[in-house]
Structure 1
Amino acid sequence: MRIDAHQHFWLYDPVRDSWITEEMEAIRRNFLPNDIGQILKDNKFDGVVAVQADQSVKETEFLVELSGFYKLIKAVVGWVDLRSDTVEEQLERFKQHTIIKGFRHIIEGESDPDFLHRDEFLRGIAALTKHQYTYDLLIRPRHYASTLKCVSANPDQAFMLDHIAKPPIKSQEFDEWAQFIADLSGYSNVHCKISGLATEADWKHWTLDHFTQYIEHVIACFGKDRVMFGSDWPVCLLAGTYEDSINIVADKLQDFSEAELKGFWGDNAVKFYSIT
């Protein structure tokens, strides 16, 4: 099964979606499964993992509702307030929706560098582990240290690093990010989406070789069985087409065996998110 492990859907709201700035005009509109269905078929994808873009329970419910109408949604990574005193009760209620495989918080938007290692957040991660949910890591460099502390403190939690931690591709800086990736990949419970790369480059002037050192380093560190493809559609449209998001990665997989390619383009996501 070929799976795009990272897509978003939304009904655009200028207040809620204020993160979509004027320079991001291309995605200031609704994006629903009908908008990507044919493109997925053209590129031989069987389905997607729908990932939260808004931090509300309503967002999680919206993605679950969509999955009932669009079978291309094979898994949902929703949002729940992991710092809430009622997180256990909320997770119990979500159990009725088997399409929900995990949760995410937009850590990159948090100014606190220790956000991931605060006691109330760690209690939430422990609840995810108890209920066998995955957790997607969306971070910036200021969160590197607390990410490592969080992962180290939760060896039984399945973590997914989104967008290879958003390296500074536009400036081609490498060393700090590369050391973090090397350190994080040492934890076998962490997997990595090779996704969202074009939007970290110069949107108008990137070339395929701008991504080479980053993708090669991630694969060398995580190995071929802990990485997978994600387009980050529709956000990827800011810097190219859906096919561009595929091509950025595809030419870096020359030494993958047939089985390893099947893993990268879908089977690794199926296993991590328990997709049936």
Structure 2
Amino acid sequence: ADDVDKRLAHFSQDKKLKGIRHIVQEEPDPEFMLRKDFQNGIGHLAQFGLTYDILVYPNQLAAAVLLARAFPDQKFMLDHIAKPRISEGLDNQWVHHIKELGLNPNVSCKVSGMVTETKNFKWRQEDFSPFMEVVLDAFGWQRLLYGSDWPVCLLGGSYKEVITIVRDYISKLSDHERAGIMGQNAVNFYSL
């Protein structure tokens, strides 16, 4: 919007508003986030203390990397680990872009939405481990957050199943690291 500053000033008065998310995954242009008007809006969020959640598919990750680099003072959260096709196994392009995104200290990653990215919602616990390994390696435990994706997750599994996937995977980490992923990192990122 031409009056983005005015609109953000108005909405940011609500202390419950912590960030903005546009459903970029629905945009047909994989470079939507590189548009001048979109980046103009992103460029105003930090002054109001607002975060931006990146909700994209893997084919939009290259643009997400460029966006994060263009706005190093903006806090970004990658939602749903960028929705890779879990049932098809690791895709080299997805891995590459996740690692590139992780190089930006202003980007964190929400481990969520994985069960709905399985074929016919059929999955096994071990299907998710390679993906969680990549994001843990790329972002470290300090920039990784658990997210349930409830109620959408119910399409592919119960809340208990979804949380168990992550809890089982991170059981190898320290108590402090697990507490970060399961809550404290979200508190820090969104200034709760």
TM range (shorter): over 0.9
Tell me the distance in 2 between the aligned counterparts of 1:254 and 1:93. 43
Task: Establish whether residue 196 from structure 1 lines up as the match of residue 127 from structure 2.
Answer: no
Task: Establish whether residue 118 from structure 1 lines up as the match of residue 35 from structure 2.
Answer: yes
What corresponds to 1:99 in structure 2?
Answer: 16
Is the 1:203–1:240 Cα contact (8 Å) retained in structure 2? no
What corresponds to 2:177 in structure 1?
Answer: 260
Return the match for 2:77 from 160, 184, 197.
160
The percent identity for this pair of structures is: 43
Cα deviation 1:64-110 (Å, max 9, x = unaligned): xxxxxxxxxxxxxxxxxxxx111111111112210000000000000
Return the match for 2:122 from 189, 198, 205.
205
Tell me the distance in 1 between the aligned counterparts of 2:161 and 2:52. 27
What corresponds to 2:60 in structure 1?
Answer: 143
Q: TM-score, normalised to structure 1's length?
A: 0.68
Provide the aligned C-alpha RMSD in A. Answer: 1.0
5 Å-filtered alignment, 1:1-276, equals 84-275=1-192
Q: Which moved more, 1:122-131 or 1:141-150?
A: 141-150
Tell me the distance in 2 between the aligned counterparts of 1:136 and 1:193. 9
Tell me the distance in 1 between the aligned counterparts of 2:113 and 2:26. 16
Say which structure is richer in helix. Answer: 2
Once the 2 structures are TM-superposed, how far is the Cα of residue 175 of structure 1 from its aligned partner? 1.2
Tell me the distance in 2 between the aligned counterparts of 1:124 and 1:205. 39
- Runs of 5+ consecutive residues of structure 1 not aligned to the other structure: 1-83
Once the 2 structures are TM-superposed, how far is the Cα of residue 246 of structure 1 from its aligned partner? 0.4
Question: Any idea what SS the aligned residue of 1:156 has?
Answer: coil
- Runs of 5+ consecutive residues of structure 2 not aligned to the other structure: none
Is the 2:90–2:131 Cα contact (8 Å) retained in structure 1? no
Once the 2 structures are TM-superposed, how far is the Cα of residue 203 of structure 1 from its aligned partner? 4.0
Tell me the distance in 2 between the aligned counterparts of 1:159 and 1:153. 12
Tell me the distance in 1 between the aligned counterparts of 2:122 and 2:57. 23
Question: Any idea what SS the aligned residue of 1:187 has?
Answer: coil
Cα deviation 1:168-208 (Å, max 9, x = unaligned): 10211421111111010000000000001100113442000
What is the letter of the counterpart of residue 7 of structure 2?
Q
Q: How many residue pairs align between the two structures? A: 192
Tell me the distance in 2 between the aligned counterparts of 1:88 and 1:204. 42
Tell me the distance in 2 between the aligned counterparts of 1:253 and 1:113. 32
Q: TM-score, normalised to structure 2's length?
A: 0.97
Q: Which moved more, 1:258-267 or 1:198-207?
A: 198-207
Tell me the distance in 2 between the aligned counterparts of 1:267 and 1:108. 27
Tell me the distance in 2 between the aligned counterparts of 1:250 and 1:269. 16
Question: Any idea what SS the aligned residue of 1:251 has?
Answer: helix
What is the letter of the counterpart of residue 31 of structure 2?
D
Is the 1:203–1:238 Cα contact (8 Å) retained in structure 2? no
Larger Rg: 1
Tell me the distance in 2 between the aligned counterparts of 1:236 and 1:145. 26
Question: Any idea what SS the aligned residue of 1:113 has?
Answer: coil
